[in-house]
Protein backbone atom coordinates (compact mmCIF):
# COMPACT_ATOMS: atom_id res chain seq x y z
CA UNK A 1 0.00 0.00 0.00
CA UNK A 2 2.76 2.47 0.96
CA UNK A 3 4.74 1.57 -2.17
CA UNK A 4 1.75 2.40 -4.37
CA UNK A 5 1.27 5.71 -2.58
CA UNK A 6 4.95 6.59 -3.09
CA UNK A 7 4.70 5.75 -6.79
CA UNK A 8 1.55 7.86 -7.17
CA UNK A 9 3.19 10.77 -5.31
CA UNK A 10 6.24 10.50 -7.57
CA UNK A 11 4.08 10.53 -10.69
CA UNK A 12 2.08 13.56 -9.50
CA UNK A 13 5.26 15.48 -8.61
CA UNK A 14 6.91 14.59 -11.93
CA UNK A 15 3.89 15.65 -13.97
CA UNK A 16 3.58 18.90 -11.96
CA UNK A 17 7.27 19.72 -12.43
CA UNK A 18 7.02 18.90 -16.13
CA UNK A 19 4.01 21.17 -16.61
CA UNK A 20 5.77 23.96 -14.73
CA UNK A 21 8.89 23.66 -16.90
CA UNK A 22 6.76 23.45 -20.04
CA UNK A 23 4.95 26.66 -19.07
CA UNK A 24 8.33 28.42 -18.70
CA UNK A 25 9.46 27.18 -22.12
CA UNK A 26 6.19 28.33 -23.68
CA UNK A 27 6.42 31.77 -22.08
CA UNK A 28 10.00 32.22 -23.29
CA UNK A 29 8.97 31.18 -26.81
CA UNK A 30 6.01 33.60 -26.84
CA UNK A 31 3.27 31.04 -26.23
CA UNK A 32 0.52 31.54 -23.65
CA UNK A 33 -1.54 28.71 -22.23
CA UNK A 34 -5.09 29.77 -21.40
CA UNK A 35 -7.07 27.62 -18.97
CA UNK A 36 -9.77 30.16 -18.14
CA UNK A 37 -13.30 30.15 -19.58
CA UNK A 38 -12.89 33.66 -21.05
CA UNK A 39 -11.36 32.11 -24.20
CA UNK A 40 -11.23 28.60 -25.55
CA UNK A 41 -8.72 26.57 -23.53
CA UNK A 42 -5.46 26.14 -25.38
CA UNK A 43 -2.30 27.75 -26.66
CA UNK A 44 -1.98 31.29 -28.00
CA UNK A 45 1.14 32.79 -29.56
CA UNK A 46 2.36 36.38 -29.53
CA UNK A 47 2.16 37.97 -32.97
CA UNK A 48 3.50 41.20 -34.39
CA UNK A 49 0.24 42.99 -35.12
CA UNK A 50 -1.33 46.27 -34.08
CA UNK A 51 -3.81 46.47 -31.23
CA UNK A 52 -7.15 46.97 -32.93
CA UNK A 53 -10.80 46.02 -32.90
CA UNK A 54 -11.19 42.24 -32.94
CA UNK A 55 -7.62 41.51 -31.81
CA UNK A 56 -6.95 39.18 -28.92
CA UNK A 57 -4.60 40.82 -26.42
CA UNK A 58 -2.77 39.97 -23.23
CA UNK A 59 -2.62 42.72 -20.63
CA UNK A 60 -1.50 43.47 -17.11
CA UNK A 61 -4.44 44.75 -15.08
CA UNK A 62 -3.91 48.19 -13.54
CA UNK A 63 -3.40 48.23 -9.79
CA UNK A 64 -6.93 48.78 -8.56
CA UNK A 65 -9.21 47.54 -5.80
CA UNK A 66 -11.47 45.68 -8.28
CA UNK A 67 -8.49 43.54 -9.34
CA UNK A 68 -7.34 43.07 -5.73
CA UNK A 69 -10.77 41.64 -4.89
CA UNK A 70 -10.79 39.52 -8.07
CA UNK A 71 -7.38 38.06 -7.16
CA UNK A 72 -8.46 37.40 -3.58
CA UNK A 73 -11.53 35.52 -4.90
CA UNK A 74 -9.38 33.62 -7.45
CA UNK A 75 -11.32 35.21 -10.32
CA UNK A 76 -7.92 36.20 -11.73
CA UNK A 77 -4.63 34.50 -11.04
CA UNK A 78 -1.51 35.80 -9.38
CA UNK A 79 1.46 36.55 -11.58
CA UNK A 80 4.26 38.91 -12.54
CA UNK A 81 2.22 42.01 -13.31
CA UNK A 82 2.36 44.99 -10.93
CA UNK A 83 0.19 44.28 -7.89
CA UNK A 84 1.01 40.57 -8.20
CA UNK A 85 -1.74 40.07 -10.79
CA UNK A 86 -1.55 37.51 -13.55
CA UNK A 87 -1.76 38.47 -17.21
CA UNK A 88 -5.29 38.43 -18.67
CA UNK A 89 -6.40 37.61 -22.22
CA UNK A 90 -9.38 39.46 -23.76
CA UNK A 91 -10.62 40.66 -27.14
CA UNK A 92 -10.67 44.32 -28.21
CA UNK A 93 -14.28 45.42 -28.77
CA UNK A 94 -13.75 49.19 -28.94
CA UNK A 95 -10.87 51.59 -29.58
CA UNK A 96 -10.19 55.27 -30.30
CA UNK A 97 -13.17 57.00 -31.88
CA UNK A 98 -15.74 54.45 -30.69
CA UNK A 99 -18.57 55.58 -28.41
CA UNK A 100 -18.97 53.29 -25.40
CA UNK A 101 -21.32 53.04 -22.43
CA UNK A 102 -21.34 50.40 -19.70
CA UNK A 103 -24.32 49.66 -17.50
CA UNK A 104 -26.28 46.85 -15.89
CA UNK A 105 -28.03 45.95 -19.16
CA UNK A 106 -24.69 45.58 -20.93
CA UNK A 107 -22.09 47.34 -23.02
CA UNK A 108 -23.10 49.53 -25.94
CA UNK A 109 -20.52 50.30 -28.64
CA UNK A 110 -21.47 52.85 -31.30
CA UNK A 111 -25.16 52.40 -30.48
CA UNK A 112 -25.08 48.57 -30.62
CA UNK A 113 -25.65 46.44 -27.50
CA UNK A 114 -22.88 43.83 -27.42
CA UNK A 115 -24.08 40.20 -27.14
CA UNK A 116 -23.57 38.52 -23.75
CA UNK A 117 -22.53 41.83 -22.18
CA UNK A 118 -25.18 42.19 -19.44
CA UNK A 119 -23.64 42.41 -15.99
CA UNK A 120 -24.32 39.52 -13.65
CA UNK A 121 -25.07 40.28 -10.01
CA UNK A 122 -22.99 37.46 -8.48
CA UNK A 123 -20.19 35.13 -9.57
CA UNK A 124 -20.40 31.33 -9.49
CA UNK A 125 -19.49 31.33 -5.78
CA UNK A 126 -22.23 33.82 -4.90
CA UNK A 127 -19.92 36.82 -4.41
CA UNK A 128 -21.42 40.13 -5.48
CA UNK A 129 -19.89 41.46 -8.68
CA UNK A 130 -18.74 45.09 -8.99
CA UNK A 131 -21.22 47.47 -10.61
CA UNK A 132 -19.12 49.43 -13.12
CA UNK A 133 -20.88 52.30 -14.90
CA UNK A 134 -19.73 54.49 -17.78
CA UNK A 135 -21.95 57.08 -19.45
CA UNK A 136 -21.45 57.31 -23.19
CA UNK A 137 -17.86 58.27 -23.88
CA UNK A 138 -15.82 58.54 -27.06
CA UNK A 139 -12.61 56.60 -26.51
CA UNK A 140 -9.30 58.37 -27.00
CA UNK A 141 -6.08 56.95 -28.51
CA UNK A 142 -5.00 55.29 -25.27
CA UNK A 143 -8.29 53.59 -24.27
CA UNK A 144 -9.61 50.13 -25.15
CA UNK A 145 -12.69 48.14 -24.22
CA UNK A 146 -11.71 44.50 -23.61
CA UNK A 147 -14.20 41.64 -23.25
CA UNK A 148 -14.64 37.93 -23.74
CA UNK A 149 -16.63 37.01 -26.81
CA UNK A 150 -17.27 33.42 -25.69
CA UNK A 151 -18.28 33.61 -22.03
CA UNK A 152 -21.15 35.77 -20.72
CA UNK A 153 -19.78 35.29 -17.18
CA UNK A 154 -16.23 36.48 -17.93
CA UNK A 155 -14.56 39.03 -15.67
CA UNK A 156 -14.08 41.80 -18.23
CA UNK A 157 -14.86 45.46 -19.03
CA UNK A 158 -18.36 45.06 -17.58
CA UNK A 159 -16.74 45.01 -14.15
CA UNK A 160 -13.46 46.96 -14.51
CA UNK A 161 -14.08 49.43 -17.34
CA UNK A 162 -11.61 50.64 -19.94
CA UNK A 163 -7.98 49.54 -20.16
CA UNK A 164 -5.14 51.90 -21.08
CA UNK A 165 -2.91 51.07 -24.05
CA UNK A 166 0.08 51.03 -21.66
CA UNK A 167 -1.43 47.96 -19.90
CA UNK A 168 -1.54 45.90 -23.10
CA UNK A 169 1.52 43.68 -23.51
CA UNK A 170 0.90 41.61 -26.65
CA UNK A 171 -1.45 40.81 -29.47
CA UNK A 172 -2.00 37.03 -29.56
CA UNK A 173 -3.69 34.50 -31.80
CA UNK A 174 -4.87 30.95 -31.15
CA UNK A 175 -2.46 28.16 -32.11
CA UNK A 176 -4.29 25.12 -30.76
CA UNK A 177 -7.51 25.30 -28.73
CA UNK A 178 -10.30 23.02 -27.62
CA UNK A 179 -13.70 23.44 -25.97
CA UNK A 180 -13.86 23.82 -22.18
13-62, pLDDT tens digit by residue? Answer: 665 555 555 555 555 568 988 888 888 899 999 999 999 999 999 999 99
Range of the domain at 169: 46-175
Which residues share a beta bridge with 41?
178
How do residues 113-144 score in pLDDT, each as one tens digit?
999 999 999 998 999 999 899 999 999 999 99
CATH code for the domain of 163: 2.10.109
How many domains is the chain partitioned into structurally?
1
**SS3 of residue 43 by DSSP:** strand
Beta bridge partners of 128: 122
Distance between start and end Cα atoms, the chain:
35
Amino acid sequence: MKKGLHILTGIVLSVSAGLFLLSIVFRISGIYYNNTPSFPVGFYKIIDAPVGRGAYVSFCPPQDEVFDVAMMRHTISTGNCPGGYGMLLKRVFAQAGDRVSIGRAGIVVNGELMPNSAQISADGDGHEMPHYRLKEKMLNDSEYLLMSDVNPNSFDARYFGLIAHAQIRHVVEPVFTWSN
